[in-house]
Amino acid sequence: MKLKKLIVTGIAMTFAIAFVDAGTLKGHVKYDGKAPKSKRLKMDADPVCGASHSGPVYSESFKMAADGSMAEAIVYLKNVSYSGGSPADPVILDQNGCIYNPHVLGLVAGQALLIKNSDATLHNIHSRPNVNKEFNFAMPKVVKEKKSTFAESEPEPFYIKCDVHPWMKAWVLVSDHPYFAVTDSNGNFSIDGIPAGSYEVVCWQEKFKKKPMTATVTIGDGETNQDFTFTRPKKK
């Protein structure tokens, strides 16, 4: 609770106005161990795909820097009370060089997903959500943009694939609030404007999708830090 002073016709009146404190969650995601060998993608079936790259292209399922920092892990809060609606700007998913860009993304339920085709070839976009109705449509090379939306939030990230190019896959989180972030190339993330309170926070990475990491954080007026470290499961 904070106080403000209002002057009305020369009389000083003090009244209380309630403000909802908002904080920031920051952190770092890494992998403790040796990274698995990257798998080279075979694009020979479509000459347009191979010609789009000057060198070999590798699987995007595990992106780790030399120090263990992990890119493209998605961090999100659970059970947040939010009534702000969905953002007006769409989230963009591009098909470029027969690769989805970005590989991991998040959007709010009801927010538009703008799917682009930057390739001179046919793609077929097929979503595999758990709650929402899936879509499955073709984008010939002359069709450069299509929009879609997911009306409901999803319990966990799901994938969108291309039925023409089987190596193409992107992972999507559809949330009922905007408090999520994808780690950058240095493994860092930042989620701003979180209402004060205690929350369960989930860190999801494609290779560990069956066992995401979780933590409990308390957000106040300021900055809270929460790091995550994935490890290779021990053999039984």
Query: 129 near 150, Cβ under 8 Å?
Result: yes
Per-residue pLDDT at 33: 92
Written in H, E and C, the secondary structure of 68-114 is CEEECCEEEEECCCCCCCCCCCCEEEEECCCCEECCEEEEECCCEEE
* Residue 41 burial (10 A CB sphere; 0-12, 13-18, 19+): buried
Please name the CATH architecture into which domain 22-231 falls: Sandwich (2.60)
Span 56-110, pLDDT tens digits: 999 999 999 999 999 999 999 999 999 999 999 999 999 999 999 999 999 999 9
* Helix, strand and coil in the chain, % to nearest 5: 5, 50, 50
Across residues 162-175, what is the average pLDDT?
97
pLDDT at 188 over 90: yes
pLDDT at 8 over 50: no
pLDDT at 6 over 80: no
- Among residues 125, 102, 230, 119, the alpha carbon closest in space to that of 172 is found at 102
Q: pLDDT over 90 for what percent of the chain?
A: 85
Element (H, E) at 6: strand 2-8
Report residue 145's pLDDT band, with 50, 70 and 90 as the boundaries. very high
Higher pLDDT: 64 or 8? It is 64
Q: What type of residue sits at position 64?
A: M
Span 203-222, pLDDT tens digits: 999 999 999 999 999 999 89
Q: Output the CA–CA distances (angstroms, integers) from residue 179 to 46, 89, 108, 123, in the order listed.
A: 39, 16, 9, 31
Report residue 129's pLDDT band, with 50, 70 and 90 as the boundaries. very high
